[in-house]
Structure 1
């Protein structure tokens, strides 16, 4: 257990390359090549971390200033995944969660319930969070373990169901994203896409990066658009001219640098994933496998980055209109791209549809996060990471998860109507996602 905790404490930028290196060597890849690929992946994740930290340091204060400038009564600050993941890893469920998630994956592979071979061990914290919150709510350790299992099963299935989106839109063949944030919100995008398809006129509206650039010329380039978004955020934050211009340049830097820091991950990953898939397919008589990875590989897409920047101020507006909400989006503002990335693929890069589904996603996320403040605070207190007994903790990432909310409410009912509404909407979304996958699968097989 102490060894597992040590590995966890290394962080994603070391933990994931280590896992990748071990897997690569086990599959017969030369040590030198495996080591180089692992280092490249680590460099990419360090780059992402630098960009995320940069966004939190520059855009985060602007968002908070914006809320204060408009006198918003949002007193519980979202600590984001950087704050919530350490809290989760400190829980009593954490160390056993990793072997459980791996075991669930193996069992599902053997039973042919999934094609996803998940190597994204760091993000098992999302599955762990469901178990940790359920344990905090009920005091029952085994209900917590069940929460890990349920979340793991759903996450791996999402990897299967959105495989064609990952392949066709992002160009990542043989890759899956069974992630606790990006994947679980995509069913809402599936519902929105299906509804818009049936509305005459609305179904013809398409806004994408190429069209914006074509119509606006140089002013339609993502970097220029990001610059002006930075100006808008600065104005809303009440900054002076100097601070506005500095923020605008920083926002433009984010959209320019993000695709560049993703590149080392792809360069390190693709050769290994190809070999792993080939060896597994031979071993299991032609079965096709998908390598499960962190959604960071999706953040290089211009529409994902652009939409993520738009949702920084928009999420605060949404938080204001959620009835009874006390959560101020903050820690996760820099990574809203995770929440909407798969939705962008579902909408085939259509920014118009992404803004609609993304608004719904963020509304539901904020509502659930607000409902979960008591339990996220209790978890932080139980793990000793919140010493102030009068303080409260919230997190959009996982704290706003419909999977966690529905599972926990089944054993710890606090809002029956809220549970019924969220459960029905999400169940419809899951069914439509499954049906959509089957339709796409049938089309592929007939080609």
Structure 2
């Protein structure tokens, strides 16, 4: 058991920038790519991951202090520390049964492929920690490891089904054929979808308003560097920075929004050759069945709407954290809320205005879920001694991914202890999930008909 755990830990310690490219290299060789081409694509993918992490880290290190200063100026004291995703991943891997989630994820994926329940091969195994984190939250509510693995397996099934129906939308947004994203953050799309459909009937919101639309309306002010500069300047003003500090923050914001699409092009450069080779291989060996490569969310990072949305949501999130009754978490480490921006991008097809509205409406859900799970997460940290928490405070994650699913299904699993409300909520959630699948399939069909007509 310890040997197996050590092997998995060795793999995880390499990180996504090494682990995922290695899998892609092996896949490239399996589908008969030349070693030189497969190696070049895999290495470029690793460079893209590292580059994206650098730019995201740069933006968070710039925006984060301004956000913290803004809250400090309010004088509000909140007793739940925002540890961000890295702290949650540390806690997830501290669970003694964590390494067992690897074979479960691979097994579920292969079974679904064989039974034609999915066309997605999930190579983003590094993010298996998300399923582990779900499992430990379920244990915190139910006390049952069996229930924890059951909910994690349900999550694996759902993320693959969502990856399938999102594929065409992702292809249109990225221009990368044959890929999708299997990141579980997209599960919250199930909740966002009905709101987005409602906006179809609201005058002014039924128009497509994306980054290109803005460029057509306001010209240079919608250019990435100018837009990033202006938004960051506003944050500096909210934080009561000096003129010098505000201007520095403005240039940093412009830099981040300029670099994101540049780095994102590396994903296309890396993945297009492997996608083409995989497609040709499958056509020869699977009677024309199409397969998709499931990857992490950064393949979408070239969509400017993601970054404009996340930055605009920073002051909104901070204001809500201050004024919402019952919220106890101070957003900091998770202040750049990709957990809402990425799924909102897919649900709206890149409609910037709708993305910001969805983000604003969903932010209280994230804050309240983070507050609700804080005792469970804090107790986990104390039990495992993986993280130190100051006396009198608790630990959580302000932008906890897919909070509705995690909360509902953790309590649905608690039916084993006589709780029934969560089970009823889970049935309602599954109904919304079926509606989302149906709606995205209809959107895919419409895209395909457009392509035939073109």
Using the TM superposition, give the Cα deviation of residue 293 of structure 1 relative to its aligned residue in structure 2, in angstroms.
0.7
Using the TM superposition, give the Cα deviation of residue 312 of structure 1 relative to its aligned residue in structure 2, in angstroms.
1.5
**C-alpha offsets along residues 230-284 of structure 1, whole Å, 9 cap, x if unaligned?**
1111111121111111111111111001111222222112211221233234322
Counterpart secondary structure, 2:230 = helix
In structure 2, the residue matched to 1:209 is: 211
CA gap 1:397/1:151 in 2 versus in 1, 3 angstroms: farther
CA gap 1:407/1:93 in 2 versus in 1, 3 angstroms: farther
Q: Of residues 193, 198, 204 in structure 1, which corresponds to 2:196?
A: 193
CA distance in 1, matches of 2:251, 2:444: 44
In structure 1, the residue matched to 2:377 is: 376
CA gap 1:79/1:228 in 2 versus in 1, 3 angstroms: same
**C-alpha offsets along residues 152-208 of structure 1, whole Å, 9 cap, x if unaligned?**
111111101212211223323221112111x11222332122101123x23445432
Equivalent pairs, count: 444
CA gap 1:408/1:437 in 2 versus in 1, 3 angstroms: same
Q: Please, which moves more after superposition, 36-45 or 161-170?
A: 161-170
In structure 2, the residue matched to 1:146 is: 150
**C-alpha offsets along residues 267-321 of structure 1, whole Å, 9 cap, x if unaligned?**
1122112212332343222111111011111121111111111112112223234
CA gap 1:399/1:422 in 2 versus in 1, 3 angstroms: farther
In structure 2, the residue matched to 1:21 is: 25
CA gap 1:56/1:421 in 2 versus in 1, 3 angstroms: farther
In structure 2, the residue matched to 1:269 is: 271
Provide the TM-score with structure 1 as the length reference: 0.92
Q: Does 1:440 align with 2:443?
A: yes
CA gap 1:281/1:328 in 2 versus in 1, 3 angstroms: farther
In structure 2, the residue matched to 1:326 is: 328
Counterpart secondary structure, 1:202 = coil
Counterpart secondary structure, 2:75 = coil
Counterpart secondary structure, 2:395 = coil
CA distance in 2, matches of 1:81, 1:422: 26
CA distance in 2, matches of 1:144, 1:6: 25
Q: Please, which moves more after superposition, 133-142 or 158-167?
A: 133-142
Q: Please, which moves more after superposition, 168-177 or 240-249?
A: 168-177
**C-alpha offsets along residues 21-45 of structure 1, whole Å, 9 cap, x if unaligned?**
2222233222222222111111111
CA distance in 2, matches of 1:396, 1:407: 19
Cα contact 2:414–2:422 (8 A) shared by 1: no
CA distance in 2, matches of 1:256, 1:360: 28
Using the TM superposition, give the Cα deviation of residue 424 of structure 1 relative to its aligned residue in structure 2, in angstroms.
7.1
Q: Does 1:164 align with 2:168?
A: yes
Q: Does 1:117 align with 2:117?
A: no
In structure 2, the residue matched to 1:339 is: 340
Cα contact 1:78–1:330 (8 A) shared by 2: yes
**C-alpha offsets along residues 386-418 of structure 1, whole Å, 9 cap, x if unaligned?**
23473411114546522221121123489x899
Cα contact 2:169–2:444 (8 A) shared by 1: no
CA distance in 1, matches of 2:341, 2:295: 16
CA distance in 2, matches of 1:322, 1:425: 26
Q: Does 1:243 align with 2:232?
A: no
| CA-atom RMSD in angstroms | 2.5
| Unaligned segments of structure 2, at least 5 residues | none
Provide the TM-score with structure 2 as the length reference: 0.91
Using the TM superposition, give the Cα deviation of residue 421 of structure 1 relative to its aligned residue in structure 2, in angstroms.
9.4
| Unaligned segments of structure 1, at least 5 residues | none
Q: Please, which moves more after superposition, 26-35 or 11-20?
A: 26-35
CA gap 1:306/1:108 in 2 versus in 1, 3 angstroms: same
Q: Please, which moves more after superposition, 163-172 or 43-52?
A: 163-172
CA gap 1:397/1:219 in 2 versus in 1, 3 angstroms: closer
Counterparts of residues 20-419 of structure 1 (less than 5 Å): 20-181=24-185, 183-199=186-202, 201-334=203-336, 336-388=337-389, 390=391, 391-398=393-400, 401-412=403-414, 419=422
